Chain A
Amino acid sequence: MSKTLIQPREIPEQEELNYLNNGTSLKSWLLTGDHKRIAVLYLIGISFFFFIGSIAAGLIRLQLMRPTGVLLENDTYNKVFTAHGIVMIFFFLVPSIPAVFGNFFIPLMIGARDLAFPRLNLLSWYVYMLGGVMFLAAMLGGGVDTGWTFYVPLSSMYSNTNVSLAILAAFMAGMSSILTGVNFIATIHKMRAPGMTWGRLPLFVWAHYATSIIMVLGTPVVAITLVLVLFERTFKIGIFSPELGGDPVLFQHMFWFYSHPAVYIMVLPGMGVQSELIANFCRKKVFGYHFIAISSLAIAALGFLVWGHHMYVSSQSMYQSTVFSLLSFLVAIPSAIKIFNWSATIYKGDVRLQTPMYYALAFMGLFTIGGLTGLYLASIATDVHLTATYFVVAHFHYVMVGGALTAYLGAIHYWWPKMFGRLYSDSLGKVSALLVFVGFNLTFMPQFIVGWLGMPRRYSVYYLAPEFQAYHIMSTLGSTVLGIGLFMPLCYLTYSLFKGPRASANPWGAHGLEWLTSSPPVTENFKQIPIVTDEVYDFDYERDHREHAEEADSEEVE
């Protein structure tokens, strides 16, 4: 670091304070514009909703232990799986990585003081929380039984549960994600530090750019669709219901136009995390950096053209189904580009098996299984057999949990020292990562089989096929292990907040602007806006210059 630094406009008293202790009142948190504090607020909210969704998942698994059901009435079971789906998708997976880690690290990674619109960012958290509270109210006030897809005419005509409130809640979650997307796009375009060219952007930022485009372009369509369902439910006018002259398949078109790309809202940020983890724990520049960056955009673009693969068994035209099937297969290409490039990065890398790398490796395997089983569902003939079976459930859990959740856990273990300035126990982290991996596979691998054999999803009982019980018991057992694996980080990470050893600015020896600031970062991120002169993931350079940089750091502190 050069010593000819010019201090920018900066209030001198703030320099010792980091973002966590710079103001401790509740108001300083609830009215903050600091992207890092908002990310922490999101982390709290998202963890809470993840907990709620997990309880619902546990109830589902418990119910299916016996062919005649264990605990829940049929109606209650419907409400429980709906709650699981809506909470996990709208209130956990969609905001998870973008709103927590994207919010926290995009400005740090591109060398900005904050996101472009801090107040919009805070607003998005409030909208998200408002939506969450509304859904909790809908759940406590009797629940919703339509499934997270809100299919008409059940949702608009027949269901007499709290569909309207749940729809408004999902609408709110969508608004919040639009605000996040707009913010990220403006930030990534205009807030990059000098020298931070597009070719030097970390892949995490590239992935979030693609994600934001989907958020901004896709979410409004589902928002208006849900508003129309609400309209139909309230005024009884025929937009989607066939008995009123509407068309239920039109709802599916509009719903899946968003909800297929929403899969990429959930998994693209995870792929961004994956690129960061692989680069750091293999001490190598990511192989095929440009291909991975462009493949994120390709996934975003292709993702908008494949929604019909959810509708093969609706009345969709078979010609249209063929087109959608073909386009769906094409998505495999950019996804495979990523997987192959990560594998090539690991090859001959200086691999360091620490907790985040465990999650990164798990992601690669599990996401590959999730993606490949997707091909069964993208081809029309097999999909007709597999639609609405546990095969589908297992497939998207491999993508959502094996992909997005695993990446979320990897991200939290990778950036925890930076976010809170504390180190956690790496051995406990490894144990929990292994439990998550084993538990997850034990939960969902049997579901592939039982789905292939014909177990339909969303059934509360299966006494006509008692031979499925063994698979379900395996699955429930696995989910228990998974639950323990997920509960452990909650304990040791919380413990580390108070008792963990303090983290240095760059505990992993990682490369990237976010590791240049202190841990935890100061309020405005950088004492001075850095000028980027080296390439992204330039680990050789890093090795050569680390000592020099540390010297400069210590001098600066003095």
Chain B
Amino acid sequence: MSELTLDPHNDSHDEHNHHVHPVSSYLKTLGALFVLMVITVWAAQIPLGSWGNNLVAMGIATTKATLVVLYFMHVRYGTSLVKLWAILGFLWVPLLGFTLADYATRQYEMVPTWNANDKGSALARDRSGTVGDSKKSMEEQTEANVRGRF
């Protein structure tokens, strides 16, 4: 165990701890965050296609989050353990990815629901059309789904 004196008059203390960072880095971070926020609001008004806007918005949000984590939360100067934890925070991404991958690759059966854009809960149903009001409504559903954005 290293001897650590906590005497406030000891000038070597701050060097020892690496805790004091220049205020300018905080100011730059804040400036960058504000600029990125303005860009988000501005970019949301421009149509970039169904994926474009989402990617831009989430990309900017992730950049902002990274800035906060690195500079405000001091991860940039932190121990590797802290960095590891910061990375572990992304574990929910496989949860998101795997779950959405399931919905993206399902073979849907048309089940009438209250929403035309809903692909239905895809419970096992009789394909002959006994579920639902009529053959016609099933076709309407199908058409609505083809028009859907999936």
Contact = CB atoms under 8 A, between A and B. Distances in A.
A–B contact with Cβ pairs below 8 Å: the answer is: yes
Interface of A: 189, 194, 213, 217, 221, 242, 245, 247-250, 253-254, 257, 304-305, 308, 315-320, 323-324
Contacts of A324: 98
B121 A317 contact: no
B91 A217 contact: yes
Binding site secondary structure of chain A: helix
Interface string B94-106: 1100110111111
Contacts of B122: 315
Nearest to A213: B88
Interface stretch (B4-12, B47-55, B69-77, B112-120): B112-120
Given A247-B121, A304-B94, A315 B88 contact: no
Given A319-B105, A320-B98, 20 more contacts: A213-B88, A221-B95, A242-B123, A245-B113, A245-B115, A245-B118, A248-B121, A249-B102, A253-B95, A254-B99, A304-B95, A305-B94, A308-B98, A308-B102, A315-B121, A317-B101, A317-B103, A317-B107, A320-B101, A323-B98
7 contacts: A194-B1, A217-B91, A242-B113, A308-B102, A315-B121, A316-B102, A320-B102
A52 to B, nearest CB: 33
B107 A318 contact: yes
B95 A257 contact: yes
B98 A305 contact: yes
Contacts of B123: 242, 315
Interface string B1-31: 1000000000000000000000000000000
Contacts of B95: 221, 253-254, 257, 304
A242 B105 CA distance: 20
B15 to A, nearest CB: 22
A250 B98 CA distance: 11
Contact of B121 (A194, A249, A305): A249
B46 interface: no
A315 B106 contact: yes
B81 interface: yes
Contacts of A257: 95
Contacts, number: 56
A317 B118 contact: no
Interface residues of B, number: 24
A35 to B, nearest CB: 22
Nearest to B81: A189
Nearest to A189: B81
Interface centre among B99, B104, B106, B115 (most CB of A within 10 A): B99
Contacts of B106: 315-317
Contacts of B101: 317, 320, 323
Contacts of A242: 113, 121, 123
Interface of B: 1, 81, 88, 91-92, 94-95, 98-99, 101-107, 113-115, 118, 121-124
A247 B113 CA distance: 12
A434 B90 CA distance: 46
B66 to A, nearest CB: 20
Contact of B88 (A217, A247, A250, A320): A217
B105 A304 contact: no
Contacts of B107: 317-318
4 residue pairs, one from A and one from B, having the closest CB atoms: A317-B105, A320-B102, A315-B122, A317-B106
A5 B34 CA distance: 59
A254 B88 CA distance: 18
Contact of A320 (B91, B92, B105, B118): B105
A255 B1 CA distance: 44
B132 to A, nearest CB: 14
A306 B103 CA distance: 16
Nearest to B89: A217
B111 to A, nearest CB: 9
Contacts of A250: 99
Contacts of B105: 317, 319-320
Contacts of B88: 213, 217
A228 B30 CA distance: 35
A242 B119 CA distance: 12
B2 to A, nearest CB: 11
Interface centre among A250, A318, A320 (most CB of B within 10 A): A320
A111 to B, nearest CB: 13
A242 B118 CA distance: 11
B49 to A, nearest CB: 25
A242 B131 CA distance: 15
A213 B85 CA distance: 10
A158 B99 CA distance: 26
Contacts of B99: 250, 253-254
A315 B122 CA distance: 6
B17 to A, nearest CB: 16
A304 B91 contact: yes
